[in-house]
Chain A
Amino acid sequence: MLRIDCPFCGLRDETEFVYGGDASRKRPDLQETSQDVWNDHVFLRDNPKGPHLEYWFHQHGCRSWLKVQRDVATHEITDVRFADKEKGQG
Chain B
Amino acid sequence: MARYSAFEIFKQALSGHKNWASAWRDPVPKEKYDVIIIGGGGHGLATAYYLAKEHGIRNVAVLEKGWLGGGNTGRNTTIVRSNYMIEGNTGFYEHSMKLWENLSQELNYNVMFSQRGQYNTFHNPGQMDVARRRANTLRLNGIEAELITAKEMQARVPGLDYSANARFPILGAMYQRRAGTARHDAVAWGYARGADQLGVDIIQNCEVEEFIRDKDRIIGVRTNRGEMRAAKIGMAVAGHSSHVAAKAGLRLPIESHVLQAFVSEPLKPIFDTVISFGAAHFYISQSDKGGLVMGGDIDGYNSYAQKGGMPTMEHVFAAGVSFLPYLSRLKVLRQWGGIMDMSMDGSPIICKSPIDGFYINAGWCYGGFKATPASGWCFAHTIAKDEPHEFNEKFRLDRFSRGYPIDERGAGPTPNAH
Question: Chain A interface (Cβ within 8 Å of chain B)?
Answer: 1-2, 13-15, 19, 21-22, 35-36, 39-40, 42-49, 52, 54, 72-75
Nearest CB in chain B: distance from A23 CB, A: 11
Given A36-B401, A49-B243, A49-B304, residue A43 in contact with residue B344 (CB < 8 A): yes
Q: Tell me the bound Cα distance from A75 to B246 in angstroms.
A: 21
| A-binding segment of B54-62, B156-164, B295-303 | B295-303
Are A45 and B252 closer than 8 Å at their CB atoms?
A: yes
User: Complex: how many Å from CA A52 to CA B256?
Assistant: 12
Chain B residues close to A by CB (< 8 Å): 240, 242-243, 246, 251-256, 300-305, 309-311, 344, 400-401, 413-414, 416
| Residue of A with least CB distance to B240 | A49
Contact check, A73 vs B304: say whether CB atoms are below 8 A apart: yes
Question: Do residues A44 and B252 form an inter-chain contact, with CB atoms below 8 A?
Answer: yes
Across-interface contacts of B252 in A (CB, < 8 A): 44-45, 47
A76 to B416, CA, bound (A): 20
Q: Which 7 A-B pairs have the closest CB atoms?
A: A47-B242, A39-B401, A43-B253, A43-B400, A44-B251, A19-B301, A49-B304
B300: chain A residues at CB < 8 Å are 19
Q: Please name 28 pairs of A and B residues whose Cβ atoms are closer than 8 Å in the assembled complex, sorted by A.
A: A1-B311, A2-B301, A14-B311, A19-B416, A21-B302, A40-B251, A42-B400, A42-B413, A43-B344, A44-B251, A44-B252, A45-B242, A45-B251, A45-B253, A46-B242, A47-B242, A47-B256, A48-B246, A49-B240, A49-B243, A49-B256, A52-B302, A54-B302, A72-B301, A72-B304, A72-B305, A73-B304, A75-B303
Report whether B302 and A47 are in contact in the complex, using a CB–CB cutoff of 8 Å: yes
Tell me if B401 and A35 are in contact (CB < 8 A).
yes
- Bound complex: CA of A75 vs CA of B302, how far in Å? 10
Q: Is the interface of A mostly helix, strand, loop or mixed?
A: mixed
Chain B residues contacting A47 (CB-CB under 8 Å) are: 242-243, 252, 254-256, 302
Please give me the residue from chain B that is nearest to A2 by CB atom: B309
List B contacts of A15 (CB < 8 A): 311
Q: Which residue in B253, B256, B309 is a CB contact (below 8 Å) of A44?
A: B253
Are B305 and A74 in contact, CB atoms less than 8 angstroms apart?
A: yes
Give every chain B residue within 8 A of A45 (Cβ-Cβ).
242, 251-255
Check A46/B256 contact, CB under 8 A, given A54-B301, A72-B304, A75-B305. Answer: no
Using A45-B251, A75-B305 as known contacts, list a sample of 14 further A-B pairs with CB atoms less than 8 Å apart, ordered by residue number in A. A2-B309, A21-B414, A42-B344, A42-B413, A43-B253, A44-B252, A44-B253, A45-B252, A46-B251, A47-B243, A47-B256, A47-B302, A49-B240, A73-B304
Contacts of B246 in A (CB 8 A): 46, 48
Q: In the complex the two chains form, is B309's CB within 8 Å of A72's CB?
A: no
**A72 pairs with B256, CB closer than 8 A:** yes
* Measured CA separation A19–B246 after assembly (Å): 24
Closest to A52 in B: B302
Once bound together, how far apart are the Cα atoms of A21 and B252, in whole Å?
15
CA distance A45 to B240 in the complex (A): 13
Across the interface, name the chain A residue whose C-beta is closest to B345: A43
Q: Are B302's CB and A14's CB within 8 A? A: no
Indicate the member of B301, B310, B413 with the most A CB atoms within 10 Å. B301
- What separation, in Å, do the CA atoms of A8 and B302 have in the docked complex? 24
In angstroms, Cα B252 to Cα A46, docked, is 8
Distance (Å) between the CB of B311 and the closest chain A CB? 5
Minimum distance in angstroms from B259 CB to a CB of chain A: 15
Question: Residue among B242, B304, B413 with the most chain A CB within 10 A?
Answer: B304
Which residues of chain A are near B309, meaning CB under 8 Å? 1-2, 14
In the assembly, what is the distance between CA of A53 and CA of B401, in Å? 25
Nearest-neighbour CB distance to chain A for B318, whole angstroms, equals 12
Q: Find chain B residues with CB under 8 A from A74 CB.
A: 305
The complex places the Cα of A36 from the Cα of B401 at a distance, in Å, of 7
Task: State A32–B311 Cα separation when bound (angstroms).
Answer: 41
Q: Which residue of A lies closest to B243 (CB)?
A: A49
Q: Is the CB of A72 within 8 A of B251?
A: no
**Chain B min CB distance to A50 (Å):** 8
Q: How far is the CA of A44 from the CA of B250 in the complex (A)?
A: 10
Query: Are A1 and B310 CB-contacts (below 8 A) given A45-B242, A72-B303?
Result: yes
A48 and B255 alpha carbons, distance in the complex (Å)? 9
- Say whether, besides A1-B311, A43-B413, A47-B252, A72 and B302 are in contact (CB < 8 Å): yes
Question: Which residues of A are found within 8 Å of B414, using beta-carbon distances?
Answer: 21
A14, B304: Cα distance in complex, Å: 18
Distance in angstroms from B148 CB to nearest chain A CB is 37
